[in-house]
Amino acid sequence: MNNTTKLIKENLLKYIDKNSTCLEIAPGSGDMVNALIHDIKFMYTIDPSLISLEMENINNLKHIQGFFNFNTLKTTLKDKIDLI
């Protein structure tokens, strides 16, 4: 994990805890997902691309393949989102 990702993770963890559910828009290769995933309850990602190989076997992650769209999120999200 690079220093920028570590710094962002440390700052985000000041606002969320282990019971948090997060949503990341356009996760790319999944650096931030991989940084946070063990410190939170659940994470959603949304991106029109397929999920990256680095993230496909994470149990507390759901990837939504699509654009950021209210109706898609409304029908897919099962938890209150604590951090976007």
Give the tens place of pLDDT for each residue, 28-59.
888 899 999 999 999 999 988 877 666 778 89
Looking up residue 62, the CATH number of its domain turns out to be 3.40.50.150
Predicted pLDDT at 13: 96
Q: Which domain holds residue 28?
A: 3-76
Task: Indicate whether 70 belongs to any domain.
Answer: yes
Task: Indicate whether 62 belongs to any domain.
Answer: yes
The predicted model gives 64-81 an average pLDDT of 87
Output the 3-class SS for the chain. Answer: CCHHHHHHHHHHCCCCCCCCEEEEECCCCCHHHHHHHHHCCEEEEEECCCCCCCCCCCCCEEEEECCCCHHHHHHHCCCCCCEC
Give the tens place of pLDDT for each residue, 19-30.
999 999 988 888
Task: Indicate whether 53 belongs to any domain.
Answer: yes
Task: Indicate whether 43 belongs to any domain.
Answer: yes
Give the tens place of pLDDT for each residue, 5-22.
999 999 999 999 999 999
Task: Indicate whether 28 belongs to any domain.
Answer: yes
Task: Indicate whether 61 belongs to any domain.
Answer: yes
Task: Indicate whether 84 belongs to any domain.
Answer: no
Q: Enter the pTM of the model.
A: 0.85
